[in-house]
A and B are shown apart, each in its own frame.
Chain A
Amino acid sequence: MDELGNRQWLKLSFWHPFGDCQRGQELKTGATWPGRSRLHSLREYERWLAGRGSRKREALATHDGSNSWQEVPLKSPPGAYPATEPTYDLPVFRDSNHGFLPVTYSGPEGTGLALVLFATNDGGRSWNPDRMLLRLPEIYAGVAPPSAVADSALIAATAADHVLTFRTAESGIGINGSREPAAKANKLPNVTAVQGLSFTDEMRGWILTGDQLLSTSDGGTNWTDVTPSALRRMRLPATTVKVPSGDSSNPLSNRPVALSYPLPSSADLSIHLGFDQCPGCNR
């Protein structure tokens, strides 16, 4: 056993709460942490699971170390209507009693999404809507843009036409008819999509876009590219080539394929198109 105690694993449970759509397994270490005491997380036997299965969407919680799971009781706020179809995220706990659970509600086409942050003061036994961001655009049908809960703020960001739109909501925003704050929009030529957010508080955080990691320290007013230099891409002019036809099983046949390339280090830039046997590649 190493100092982390993670050489010995005890299988606690295996469950299929979402039928064929989500499954999980929990492995628990058999040792205590050596003097490490960040107690912002849940109690030892509490776990949370959020999912979106083929038959139903639900958030599940266990309070007995995965022996039994119960559906998390959540009621959508009236202000989210007509977005009523929930997609659950995992909760974020500030201490053993206080936490937040983001839920995105979708509705009829064109109505946008409602991102609701539920809050708990009793370790997740009960939840109440605390704040809400309305009319968020869908990434695609029913899928919400990335969001984050940081400190006491709910943050969401979207990108369209190279404009990064940044929204935050404090407690009470959007609930009971209160108005949402104005969104901050930045024209960023290289930003086409937002893939993820990570914020430590309302002001400071990162946004992951297709090729870039952007940083802000003023709540989304200004952004700096902090992409590791090893991952910065320099694109050569796109090349369009035609893949030989004749293989009906090949989805690329008769379809131009646009190729773009990262800056080569020692890589061969020659492009050889065609098909051959692939004995070492099939898995």
Chain B
Amino acid sequence: MCAFPTYEPRGPCCADDARHCLNAFLEEVPCVQHPSHQRHCCYRFCWVRLPRLQSMKLLTPEVGWAADQRLFWTANGGGDWKDITPKKPVEGEEIGSIFFLDTSAGWVLLSRYAEPEPRFDLVSTTGAGQSWWTTRTEIPRLDPETAVLGGDGGLTSSILFTGG
């Protein structure tokens, strides 16, 4: 987690609701607040996820999506973008994987580490992200960090999760 390239160190690690913490010199210092960024701790050092593109797909010559922890949609080849990020049912859930079957129907896998099993929510749209439906999904023994969402269409549809 700590070496993940989209994370950068940001100072001492604070509890979620803390405003101050003690640094190595026992001095009280304000916590570094990054409400829009995911935060992870490693060796008691705080790392924040930076807004950086992590995945994308050009579905047709004009229509495509790009995502970091937000999901953006374009209908003119990237000239303009619309934020279509689905609302996360649980705070702290991250976008793990995105799959669009075509220019309308798609799924986003949201996940969060939890005990005894990680939490997964699968959100889906039939309107290119204008609205989303959420399905709580049980996926035992799957690591949220490596879960990949794929699928296929046809007369029936299926979603495939794999993790390494």
Contacts and interface: CB of A to CB of B under 8 A. Distances in A.
B142 A274 contact: no
Interface string A198-236: 111100111010111101010000001011111101000
Interface string B1-40: 0100100111111111110011111010110111010011
Main SS class of interface, A: loop
Which range contains the number of A residues in contact with the other chain?
35 or more
Contacts, number: 244
Contacts of A201: 61
A226 B81 CA distance: 9
Given A250-B43, A257-B9, A272-B12, A44 B50 contact: no
Contact of A4 (B41, B113, B133, B163): B133
A9 B140 CA distance: 14
Interface of B: 2, 5, 8-18, 21-25, 27, 29-30, 32-34, 36, 39-41, 43-46, 50-53, 55-61, 64, 66, 68, 70, 72, 74, 77-79, 81, 83, 101-102, 105, 107, 113, 122, 124, 126, 133, 135, 137, 139-142, 150, 152-164
Interface of A: 2-7, 9, 14, 18, 21-29, 31-33, 36-44, 47, 49, 51, 90, 196, 198-201, 204-206, 208, 210-213, 215, 217, 224, 226-231, 233, 243-244, 246-247, 249-252, 257, 259-262, 265, 267-268, 270-283
20 contacts: A4-B157, A9-B137, A23-B164, A27-B159, A29-B156, A36-B101, A38-B153, A42-B152, A215-B77, A228-B81, A230-B83, A250-B43, A250-B45, A252-B43, A260-B8, A272-B32, A274-B22, A274-B25, A281-B46, A283-B113
